Amino acid sequence: MRPTLLLLILLSVAMSAAAQLMLKLGVSTAQADAGVAARGTAFMFSPWVMGGLGLYGLGAIVWLFVLQRVPLSAAYPFVGIGFIFTMLIGVFVLGEGISPGRILGTLLIAAGCVCVARSVA
């Protein structure tokens, strides 16, 4: 796989992980005791949620560019890297806990992504 395409794949996946962080920050600010309609409205108008959805959209455009040039069966496994990025964001940015099982699972995902990357001509 050409380095430029690999970088575009990683960019799209990183944008998706960053969008997850933005969505989490946006929904975390809504009042838990508010009604469903009030929370839904707060979600829709949260700058974090709007930014996260926008970032998802930009990431999708990058992904479409990738799919035009890379076989789907070669590109899609890299979406698994998003699990790694998102877990790291949760731990280091949000201060979430992490278990040995989660670390092992994430390492297995990473190993699978390496195997796929090396198998692509």
According to the model, what pLDDT value does residue 118 have? Answer: 75
According to the model, what pLDDT value does residue 33 have? Answer: 64
- What does the angle CA 55 – CA 72 – CA 22 come to, to the nearest 5 degrees? 15
According to the model, what pLDDT value does residue 39 have? Answer: 77
According to the model, what pLDDT value does residue 18 have? Answer: 96
- Cα–Cα dist 117/121, whole Å: 9
- Cα–Cα dist 2/13, whole Å: 17
Number of residues written out for the chain: 121
According to the model, what pLDDT value does residue 12 have? Answer: 96
According to the model, what pLDDT value does residue 76 have? Answer: 85
pTM above 0.85, yes or no: no
Query: Domain coordinates of the chain in residue numbers?
Result: 3-119
According to the model, what pLDDT value does residue 40 have? Answer: 78
User: pLDDT by residue for the chain (121 residues), tens digit each?
Assistant: 788 999 999 999 999 999 999 999 998 876 666 778 877 787 888 899 999 999 999 999 999 999 999 988 888 888 888 888 999 999 999 999 999 998 898 888 888 877 877 776 5
